[in-house]
Amino acid sequence: MANITVIPATKTLHSKMPVNARSRRKVAGYARVSTDSEEQLTSYEAQVDYYTKFIRSNPDWEFVDVYTDEGISATNTRHRDGFNRMIADALAGRIDLIVTKSVSRFARNTVDSLTAVRKLKEHGTEVYFEKEGIYTFDSKGELLITIMSSLAQEESRSISENVTWGQRKRFADGKVSLPYKSFLGYRKGPDGLPEIVPEEAEIIREIYKLFIQGKTVNWIATYLTAKGIPTPRGKEKWQTSTIESILTNEKYKGSAVLQKKFTVDFLSKKMKVNEGEVPQYIVDQSHPAIIDPAQWQKVQDEMAVRKSRGKHHNSLSPFSTKIVCGDCGDYYGSKVWHSTDKYRRVIWQCNGKFKGKDRCATPHLYEDDIKRLFLRAVADLTEDREVLLETCRMIHDEYLNTDTIDAECATLNDEIEIVSGLTKKLIAENATTAIPQDEYNRKYDALVERYHAAQDRLDDLQKLRITRSFQADVLECFMFEIKTIDTMLPLEFTDRFWNNLIDRVTVYHDGRMVFRFKDGTEVMETL
């Protein structure tokens, strides 16, 4: 019979320490709460105190630290600074044992949990999950962790789905909530709905007014910063992105588009812009409006116009994007001649003059000449001022007369209601009666096409109504300026006078300048 000699182990399996060595284990605690509520912070402080005392009370343990994450979600570990710092210290050999409350406190992501545990085990660091009584160096530890982590992950998924369902139910019910801490102009009212903050609403109205007057978002941001008005987040300096966000946010007109973004994955918490993957909900008149809807739409139209003009829009001069080259169609821009000497002059010339092979032959313009010819064109326009105003009033009234549009909208709404009823009836019939599916699909597709045709036309008419309202406002400003002209005094140039009267000026190579006014009238002057 063979002789067997046992050579006893001299080192521990994971730490590589001699078996009989008496050394204190370096122990750290890990505490985390998932929200920043007062109740949870109390729990957080209690955890820190508990693990500090718990570790120090064991004579075989040497207290290292209690690593903490406050107000952090546990579904992944990427943004948990305390957790990541603890792992780094453990891998550097500064921690032998980590004590934490439970697997769910450690991580709700199975992959992250197992990865961290295995990495720590390879470097001789054990984790003790107090609630489950699991030591990761135990032979059954990894299996138990896998089971518990999976349960925690499933719990997190279930919570996430319940929260998402609740949010979408509120969206479907038209319930609007705002990030009040960083949303200028509103606060949460006693009924839970947004209510206007008067002093903040005035800031919003001023931003819209300045933009309509021709100021750029950059100019407005600089202006508000200079006035010492704090941003929605309480910062001193305004950013152009903040101004753009305010100018395009439909909530300021009393409406809300819900579910603009959605969470793609409950583990990563990654957000994505909704491009049709989940339903969106448009709630009109959901809360008090700070900006009149017609004015809000006017701003959107103006913003679209400016984007089409690109970098040429400049609020510092009333002539920007108003003067057009008759040769190439590009805008005139300002240039400075003799910028460093006494002959310094500002001139305006075609921005594309030197871009192509064929240079534009249109002349450069001095600002004094632009003003002089503009005032001459106004004088020619208003030779018979009463006739001009009467014509404008007729056009203005026509813009405001929406009887035909309203009648067609009513008809389309009836059509949409009828089609919706027919569609529901068809679906119900198909569910209870044996209908050939080819026939069913043909009828269903026809109804859908009919519905979309009516809805598209209705949308076009609503846009037309807003456009006509905008045109009426423009013409009203035009008539106001014409009425204020004192025939007994010489005309004087002002930025407001120019902006309210002029649509565009086209300059030709022979020195002709065609002034197109806001009422559509064109007057030609020559340099």
pLDDT digits (tens, 9 = 90+) for 173-197: 445 556 677 788 888 888 777 889 9
74 within some domain = yes
Q: Which of 77-91, 176-190, 302-316 has the lowest mean pLDDT?
A: 302-316
Q: Which of 365, 323, 363 is nearest to 348 (CA)?
A: 365
Quote the tokens at residue 347.
């001139």
- The answer to whether 504 and 318 have CB atoms below 8 angstroms apart is no
Mean per-residue pLDDT, 67-76: 61
Check whether residue 366 and residue 480 sit in a common domain: yes
Phi, psi of 507 (to 5 degrees): -105, 130
d(CA 183, CA 178): 7
Check whether residue 148 and residue 184 sit in a common domain: no
**Number of domains present in the structure of the chain:** 3
The pLDDT-based confidence of 10 (bands split at 50, 70, 90) is low
Q: Which of 166-170, 231-235, 431-435 has the lowest mean pLDDT?
A: 166-170
Check whether residue 115 and residue 250 sit in a common domain: no
Q: Given 291, 315, 342, which residue is the final one in a domain?
A: 291
Is residue 408's pLDDT more than 80?
A: yes
Mean per-residue pLDDT, 163-182: 53
Is residue 274's pLDDT more than 80?
A: no
296 within some domain = no
To the nearest whole number, what is the mean pLDDT of the chain?
79
- The answer to whether 224 and 250 have CB atoms below 8 angstroms apart is no
pLDDT digits (tens, 9 = 90+) for 317-350: 788 888 999 988 888 988 888 767 777 788 999 9
Check whether residue 287 and residue 349 sit in a common domain: no
- The answer to whether 500 and 478 have CB atoms below 8 angstroms apart is yes
pTM of the model: 0.48
DSSP letter (8 states) at residue 230: P
**Tokens 């521990």 appear where?**
12
d(CA 337, CA 178): 52
100 within some domain = yes
- The answer to whether 146 and 116 have CB atoms below 8 angstroms apart is no
d(CA 459, CA 467): 12
Check whether residue 151 and residue 240 sit in a common domain: no
Is residue 141's pLDDT more than 90?
A: no
d(CA 31, CA 50): 10
Looking at residue 90, its pLDDT comes to 93
Q: What are the strands, taking DSSP E only, across 141-235? A: 186-188, 194-196
d(CA 175, CA 193): 8
d(CA 168, CA 173): 8
Is residue 14's pLDDT more than 50?
A: no
167 within some domain = no
Check whether residue 380 and residue 502 sit in a common domain: yes
* Residue-number span of the structural domain to which 113 is assigned: 25-159
The pLDDT-based confidence of 264 (bands split at 50, 70, 90) is very low
Q: Which residues pair with 515 in a beta bridge?
A: 505, 523
Q: Given 129, 159, 189, which residue is the final one in a domain?
A: 159
d(CA 502, CA 466): 22
Q: Which of 101, 110, 100 is nearest to 148 (CA)?
A: 110
Query: For residue 52, what is the domain's CATH number?
Result: 3.40.50.1390
Look up residue 446 and give its amino acid: A
pLDDT digits (tens, 9 = 90+) for 412-466: 999 999 998 898 888 888 877 777 888 888 988 899 899 989 988 988 888 888 7
Check whether residue 47 and residue 191 sit in a common domain: no
Looking at residue 132, its pLDDT comes to 75
Quote the tokens at residue 54.
């718990």
308 within some domain = no
d(CA 30, CA 126): 13
482 within some domain = yes
The pLDDT-based confidence of 287 (bands split at 50, 70, 90) is confident
Check whether residue 199 and residue 340 sit in a common domain: no
d(CA 232, CA 286): 22
Query: For residue 251, what is the domain's CATH number?
Result: 3.90.1750.20
Check whether residue 361 and residue 215 sit in a common domain: no
The DSSP line for 29-91 is EEEEESS--HHHHHHHHHHHHHHHHHHHT-TTEEEEEEEEEES---S-STT-HHHHHHHHHHH
Check whether residue 434 and residue 471 sit in a common domain: yes
44 within some domain = yes
Quote the tokens at residue 186.
């509103």
d(CA 364, CA 344): 15
464 within some domain = yes
Check whether residue 264 and residue 337 sit in a common domain: no
Q: How many residues does the chain have?
A: 527
Check whether residue 514 and residue 418 sit in a common domain: yes
Looking at residue 395, its pLDDT comes to 93
- The answer to whether 67 and 103 have CB atoms below 8 angstroms apart is no
